[in-house]
Structure 1
Amino acid sequence: MLTNIIDKFSGGPVGLETLAASLSEDSDTVMEVWEPYLMQLGFLERTPRGRITTRRAYEHLGRELPGSLEDTDQGRFTGF
C-alpha cells in the first residue's frame, strides 16, 4: 500500500475510495485493517485531504524523500 501511494499518487494525499480501487481492495478492509497498522508504525497519516505517506515510510522503503518531506520535522507532506 505504501509503494502504491508513493508511486501512483506521489506520496498523497489520496482518498480512501481511490486508494482502495488502486489496490483492488475493499475500502472497509483498507480503513479497518491496513490503515491502523501503518499508522501505528508511523508510515501513514490520515488528513482531511486524504492519506499521506510519512518520512518514516520513505526511509523504511529506501526511497528518496521528496523535497516537501526533507524540510519538515514531523515528516509530513506539507506542499499543498
Structure 2
Amino acid sequence: DRKILLTLIDKFAGGPVGLDTLATAVGEQADTLEDVYEPYLMTEGYLVRTPRGRAATARAYDHLGRKVPASAQGSLL
C-alpha cells in the first residue's frame, strides 16, 4: 500500500494516473491493484478515482510525511 502511494506521489506528482500505468510502475497486475489495494486505500481516504485516473489525497501526503503541493491542494482536499 505504501509503495503504491509513494509511486503515485514521487513518480506521478500525486496523479491523476491511469490504472495500467500505475500498476506497471509498482510491478503489480492492474486487476490486483484494483481489486485488492485500491478499495483499502480509498476507504482510508488515501486515494481517489477521478475520470482521468487515480490521485493521492492530502491525507496520503500527510500519512507519508510529505508536503501537499500548493497547486494541488484545492483538488486533493
Same-fold call, TM cutoff 0.5:
yes
- Pairing 1:1-80 to 2, within 5 Å after superposition: 1-70=4-73, 72=74, 76=76
- % identical equivalent positions: 55
CA distance in 1, matches of 2:28, 2:9: 17
Equivalenced residue count is 74
Q: Taking CA–CA contacts closer than 8 Å with sequence separation of 6 or more, which of the two structures ends up with the larger relative contact order?
A: 2
**CA shift digits 1:7-52 (9 cap, x unpaired):** 0000000000000000111000000001000000000000000000
Unaligned runs of 5+ in 2: none
Following TM superposition, by how much is the alpha carbon of 1:76 offset from its aligned partner in structure 2, in angstroms? Answer: 1.4
Which consecutive aligned stretches of 4+ in structure 1 deviate over 4 angstroms post-superposition? none
One-letter code of the match for 1:31?
A: E
Alignment root-mean-square deviation, CA:
1.4
Report which of the two structures shows the higher radius of gyration computed on alpha carbons.
1
